[in-house]
Amino acid sequence: MTLSIRPDLTSADQVLSSFVAQKRPKVTEAEMMQAVRTLLIGLGEDPDREGLKDTPKRVMKALQFLTKGYTESLDELLNGAVFTEDANEMVLVRDIDIFSSCEHHILPIIGRAHVAYIPNGKVIGLSKIARICEMYARRLQVQERLTTQIADALQGLLKPQGVAVVVEATHMCMVMRGVQKPGSWTVSSAMRGVFAEDYRTREEFMNLIRHNANFH
């Protein structure tokens, strides 16, 4: 089962279960499209008018794409790209775009993730860090869980000296509806190992995610 619908799992269980690609449950696409059609009627629309004729299919496809992380696994996305390397300095991948969906309203969470780790004999292909973010973001999420899942995945895969993840994001459910606060954004962090234990390591990470790159 997927993480978001198994709140009883510990983070270690969650990392393990992420190794196995999840299958979509057996609801037919026709049933999903029918549900969107019902929504349209409930909203006061005519689902048979020309502009809306293909909308149930489009909405279903869009939602399938936005939640494709349920069908992905760490094992597949890694493709073996964990290498033995005698490196022990911080590795940071910054400014990873995040497009997720909040589980309360299925509205976009848009932001960036910054992910660092300090190796302990193993390094991971850099693109795989962004792919891990992508896999967890493309599920129904709360920002806090997205942040800890990324950290726990790296911690579980590499057993590094430490992992640090910061996610900065704006939630459309707080911008377009509800409390309507455009410009508000949320910062969440997950620190593991030396990043949790040693404030200087954490400070170094925080400084590195604040400075501007020279090539911009």
Ligand X SMILES: Nc1nc2c(ncn2[C@@H]2O[C@H](COP(=O)(O)OP(=O)(O)OP(=O)(O)O)[C@@H](O)[C@H]2O)c(=O)[nH]1
Catalytic site residues? 102-105, 143, 171, 173
Q: In sequence order, what are the beta bridge partners of 168?
A: 112, 187
Quote the least distance from Cβ 142 to ligand X, whole Å. 4
Does 173 count as an annotated binding residue? yes
Extended strands (E) in 46-161? 82-84, 91-102, 108-118, 122-124, 140-141
Does 102 count as an annotated binding residue? yes
Q: Which is nearer to ligand X, 76 or 144 (CB)?
A: 144
The token pair at 44 is 């006061």
Question: In residues, how long is the chain?
Answer: 216
CA gap 113, 166 in Å, rounded: 6
Question: Which of the choices Zn ion, ligand X, none does residue 142 contact, using the CB cut-off of 5 to 8 A by kind?
Answer: ligand X
CA gap 77, 60 in Å, rounded: 24
Quote the least distance from Cβ 175 to ligand X, whole Å. 10
Going residue by residue from 146 to 175, which x/- string records binding to ligand X, judged by CB under 6 A?
-------------------------x-xx-
The stretch among 81-89, 102-110, 135-143, 186-194 that binds Zn ion (CB under 5 A) is 102-110
Strand-pair category, 140-141 with 91-102: parallel
C-alpha dist (Å) from residue 95 to 65, 100, 168: 22, 15, 9
Q: Binding to ligand X (CB under 6 A): which residues in 46-105?
A: 102, 104
Contacting residue, 9, 173, 208, 209, with Zn ion by CB under 5 A: 173
Binding residues for Zn ion, per CB under 5 A?
A: 102, 104-105, 173
* Residues flagged as binding site for Zn(2+): 102, 105, 173
